[in-house]
Amino acid sequence: MVTNAYRLFLNRLCQSCPLKTQCALFNKFAEDQERISLESTPLNHSDIQTIDNNLNVSSLQHCFLCIDILHRYTADEFMQQIKQTAQTATSDFQSFCVNLSLPLNLLIRHAYLTKFLTKFVGECNEKDLPIIKDQWRNLMIDRLEEVLHRPYQIDSPFEINITFDFSGEKEELESLRRFRYADNPKLAKSNANEGFTRQAVTTILNDLTFEDFEQYYKPAINGKTTCTISALHDSVYVAGCKSYI
């Protein structure tokens, strides 16, 4: 079994990716494949190290599962960037909340992995494979409370906004367009500038089978992730005057 998905999910990810370790089905699949590789050929220690290295993405690539959001953007250096942005905005805040904006192609990769695991390992649903946004929050919120010395509150008036962009997002969304208009190329051409909303992407992904992914999906494996951070207080009106809390 060598599919496009097989190559991507075994050879284009970081072994330490939290998303992998949190998904029992995928972790089992990866361990089984590694065991098969080790048992199929007599190997010495250096050979095993070579296999381990090949299963990790290089510094010039991104982790296919999380496009580095759970790696570079959970590091201590990034924590300090968030802290600096918050303190630059104001020193007078009693709590904070975090709003994340993620590239739509993460939905595509998440659906691809879900359908891959369902086909080759076992039935996989959202409970088995946590979304990137939830994973990032699980990794970061407690640490942010320590760094900012403030509690996290979902309805806090002090908002930290973190926006992730991926340079290959448009390229991957084109895969959905190819599938959507596969039976009508002329319509695809006339809708070449059509934008994709989150709801539209989700609707199309629900119709895609694993075989459709293999045929139409072209991942931007050399894409780059960038991030912008901003922070602000919600304004309120007190006795007819606009103020900040």
Model pLDDT, residue 104:
95
Model pLDDT, residue 91:
79
Place of tokens 């895609």: 208
Model pLDDT, residue 236:
47
Model pLDDT, residue 44:
41
Query: How high is the mean pLDDT of the chain?
Result: 79
Model pLDDT, residue 16:
65
Model pLDDT, residue 25:
80
Q: In the chain, which stretches have pLDDT less than 50?
A: 1, 41-60, 236-245
Model pLDDT, residue 140:
95
Model pLDDT, residue 218:
87
Model pLDDT, residue 32:
76
